[in-house]
Amino acid sequence: MNKASLNATITKIRAMHGRMLTDEDYRILSSKRSLAEVAQYLKEHPGFKELFADIDVNTVHRGYIEELLRKHDFEIFTQLRDFQHLGGKHFYNCVSERNDTEQLLSLITSIDRGEKQEFINAVPVYALTQSDLDFHKLTECRTIDELADELEHTEYAPLCAGIRRNTSGKTDILALETDFNTFYTKRLMASIKKELSKSDAALLTESVKAGVNIRNFINAYRMKAYFNASPEEIRRKMIPLSGGAADRRIEKLWECDSEEDMLRLMSKLPGVKQAAADSRGFIETAVTRVKLKYARKLMRTQSMPAVYYAFLQLCEIQTSNIIHIIEGIRYGLEPDRIEALITY
């Protein structure tokens, strides 16, 4: 792609970025007291005006808004990917492939629980149209073994042994998530190394590894806080990285005896110590701010792949924030408690 095309893509992304919710918007939305008020505010916001144009704010259901926002994010991804015909490179299909892994995990658990029809009813059709997998055929599988047999003929064949280890009613979903996320991360990192320039790859690798560390920490914190998991149990459920001094410092978190010890060690680690200090009781939100920091850093570069990847992450965080606000209002939380749940 020539320089003019690269600049055109960056310009398009930054124009879309300029219509996203600001910190002030989040503070205002956190003070709303009903779903109708949130929907009305979004309906009048430049970034959501068209999306919410046909919504009746007095009757809309929160589930419909969540579905609408997620569909909108996916359409942004396909629009940007197809803008300069980028789909020929694996890296630019990252959102579609991540969606495939999420839907496969959901299908596996629904088959295991005998609730396949619920998966069929809830699966986002708009996303499956972009998938290389035949989900219609996969949903005809009656057992996990049958599903694994079908996947043996796809790029997901390396995961089939792990899928088959699960027996009826005993699916270890966290172990499967680790397998799937490790598979996805390795493919993403390989595509970055193979398809992008060295300078672009260096930027993206740092951000992807930061995202993996964030996911690992959140999972480890949950395992320690809610199940008092041992260091070895935690280590088995972490997405492995390629090594290095920074990664080894992060790995020491798994050896902590308690979640409090995790926070104390985290407060000493470069890049994430501010999150530990600013947790306000919601460490997951604080750690996600690290992801937000990396995305904003990439948005300021002149690397088109970095800007593309960062913007998709920002869209994901924005949608998650809106959903947290709606849920906070649903449960009657005070504005300051809602603000503590969102990342901005």
Together in a domain, 220 and 284? yes
Q: Lowest-confidence range among 55-69, 216-230, 303-317?
A: 216-230
Number of domains observed in the structure of the chain? 3
Average pLDDT, the chain: 88
Q: What is the pLDDT of residues 177-216, one digit of tens each?
A: 899 999 999 999 999 999 999 999 999 998 898 888 888 8
If asked whether residues 203 and 292 sit together in one domain, one would say yes
Residues 206 and 280 occupy one common structural domain: yes
Residue 166 lies in a domain: yes
pLDDT the model gives residue 285: 82
Query: pLDDT digits over 121-136, tens only?
Result: 888 888 888 888 999 9
In a domain, residue 67? The reply is no
- Residue 281 is given by DSSP the state T
Residue 325: name the closest of 25, 54, 17 by CA: 25
Number of alpha helices (DSSP H) and beta strands (DSSP E) in the chain: 19, 0
Residue 190 resides in a domain: no
Same structural domain, 148 and 201: no
pLDDT in tens, 97-130: 999 999 999 999 899 888 999 999 888 888 888 8
Let me know whether 316 and 292 are in one domain: no
- Angle at the Cα of 30 (from 342 to 289), degrees rounded to 5? 15
* Interval 240-252 mean pLDDT: 65
Tokens of 279: 């947790």
Q: How far apart are CA 320 and CA 326, in angstroms?
A: 10
* DSSP summary character for residue 132: S
Whether residue 82 is contained in a domain is answered as no
Q: Tell whether 72 is covered by a domain.
A: no
Neighbours of 186 (CB within 10 A): 14
343 with 258, same domain?
no
Are residues 201 and 296 both part of a single domain? Answer: yes
pLDDT at 72 over 80: yes
Establish if 131 belongs to a structural domain. Answer: yes
Q: What are phi and psi of 74, to 5 degrees?
A: -70, -35
Residue pair 173/109 in contact by the 8 Å Cβ criterion: yes
**Which among 144, 166, 185 is the end of a domain?**
185
Task: Out of 158, 185, 212, pick the residue that ends a domain.
Answer: 185
In a domain, 244, yes or no: yes
Last residue of one domain, picked from the residues 118, 151, 185: 185
Q: Are residues 281 and 227 in the same domain?
A: yes
Name the residue range of residue 49's domain.
1-60+310-344
Whether residues 106 and 178 fall in one domain: yes
83 domain-assigned:
no
Residues 286, 232 share a domain: yes
In the predicted structure, residue 140 carries a pLDDT above the cut 60 = yes
